Structure 1
Amino acid sequence: MSSIASYTKTHDQRIQDDVMQQITWQPEIHSKDISVKVQDANVMLTGFVHGYLEKLAAERAAKTVFGVVSVANDIEVKPPSMRTDPEIARDVVEALRIHASVPDEKIKVAVSGGFVTLTGAVDWHYELENAETAAHSINGVRGIVNLLQIKQRATSEQVRQKIEDALKRMVDLDARSMSVYTSDGTVSLYGNVHSWSEREKAERAAWQAPGVQQVSNHLTIHP
């Protein structure tokens, strides 16, 4: 029993050290106030950063570390200088307007306490992602609540077939170890993958199908 406990502790410590080094390695992360805790390969990030993009960069860095099975990002954004909600809203609206791949006329913006809420309906998931990315870049944003909806464009069977075909085309994914279920715009993924990167690639493939409203990723990581 003691040898198992010792192995788990050593394994978690290795992941903790690797995550901290990976975060330190990222040029876009400047904060020295990020803490990393690991339990059973599940990573929790806490501390403070100056911008929302920095918070996301820390999460991405943690997910690239081998052996990580989940990441809880509880890092708090504390901008160096506080901006008013109307100032932030104005800049977010402008960022959406000038982004070539964002249908800004279909999106409404609300800001409260530095947290931006996006509402409306778009045609594709990449438009939803681009809108969120544009809002992330604005100084003073502390968080994003993305309530954008995607219009239904295909039947559940058509969506399932497109996703399965996409997974089969991806050289670094074993489509045979995954199952795809679709219903009313919601896609559920089940099965096994070898890393967090593979898990996210499968999810991105699901999002690329037309009309997908939600992806429930139940893929299990087995390094």
Structure 2
Amino acid sequence: MNDMQLRQDIVEELDFEPGIDARGIGVSVTDGVVTLNGHVPSYSQKIDAEKAVWRIKGVKALAQELEVRLPEHAKVNDDEIATRAARIIAWNVGVPADAIHVKVSHGWITLSGTVDWHFQRFAAEAAVRRLTGIHGVFNNVEIKQALKSDNVREKIKDALRRHVEGEASRIRIDVKSPGDVTLEGDVGDYEERRAIERAAWSVPGVRAVHDNLHIQWHAS
């Protein structure tokens, strides 16, 4: 697929997605690398635009340069955002009680604290992403559980065999203590890439995953 056709497919996908106001979004494509620039009226739309791009076959990489420009009616004071964020996290059954601390500055939410599992860290971020009036989220929540690195690599390979059929043998896994994982290799599409990353995060003791996987599209 050439860059012109890929760009057209992305523009049509953004226009098709009902939750995205694509009028302020610019799209450029060079050798399968997509750049989104311009602006959207909410942080949730910024996230949704990124997901929409990755759904398109042929996308190799994405540079996300969208700015969140809140309309006047959507602007919310930091103290109100902080109150809402703390409340919605407290209501989330996937997040341990009192584990997450919330700070808000100029519409940016910073999450901190420690949890046992990555899914808890992700659940806290997902809970606040769609709050009205925010510009973005910094997730600084740490995972406190740690295993010896000599066991983590084999456990990740086992997880790949369970979760992602046929991928374990061609993915290179580098583990540095404590639980710092780097994934390298070629994958067929974005969904495979995400599945491999999720498999790595599913292993106890993994505290960071650096996704250096490359999407290798095959000509149809």
Q: Tell me, yes or no, whether TM beats 0.5.
A: yes
Aligned mates of 2:37, 2:114 — CA distance in 1: 33
Q: Does 1:208 find its partner at 2:181?
A: no
**C-alpha contact (below 8 Å) 1:41/1:67 kept by paired residues:** yes
Aligned mates of 1:104, 1:130 — CA distance in 2: 13
SS across alignment from 2:103: strand
Q: Does 1:180 find its partner at 2:148?
A: no
| Segments of 4+ moved more than 3 angstroms | 170-173
**C-alpha contact (below 8 Å) 2:184/2:213 kept by paired residues:** yes
Measured on the aligned residues, the alpha-carbon RMSD in Å equals 1.5
Report the TM-score, using the length of structure 1 for normalisation: 0.90
Question: Shift of the alpha carbon at 1:104?
Answer: 4.2
> Which residue in 2 is equivalent to 1:26?
17
Alignment gaps of 5+ in structure 2: none
Deviations 1:51-100 (A, max 9, x none): 11111010011011111111111111122231111011111001101111
Aligned mates of 2:163, 2:91 — CA distance in 1: 33
Report the TM-score, using the length of structure 2 for normalisation: 0.92
Deviations 1:153-173 (A, max 9, x none): 322132212210121223554
Deviations 1:155-213 (A, max 9, x none): 21322122101212235542221111212211111111112221221111111111211
Aligned mates of 2:94, 2:164 — CA distance in 1: 28
Q: Which moved more, 1:39-48 or 1:173-182?
A: 173-182
> Which residue in 2 is equivalent to 1:84?
77
Aligned mates of 1:41, 1:122 — CA distance in 2: 37
Alignment gaps of 5+ in structure 1: 1-9
Aligned residues: 214
SS across alignment from 1:21: helix
Q: Does 1:57 find its partner at 2:39?
A: no
Aligned mates of 2:101, 2:173 — CA distance in 1: 33
> Which residue in 2 is equivalent to 1:192?
186
> Which residue in 2 is equivalent to 1:16?
7
Match of 1:37 among 22, 28, 47: 28
> Which residue in 2 is equivalent to 1:67?
58
Aligned mates of 1:182, 1:32 — CA distance in 2: 43
**C-alpha contact (below 8 Å) 1:179/1:191 kept by paired residues:** yes
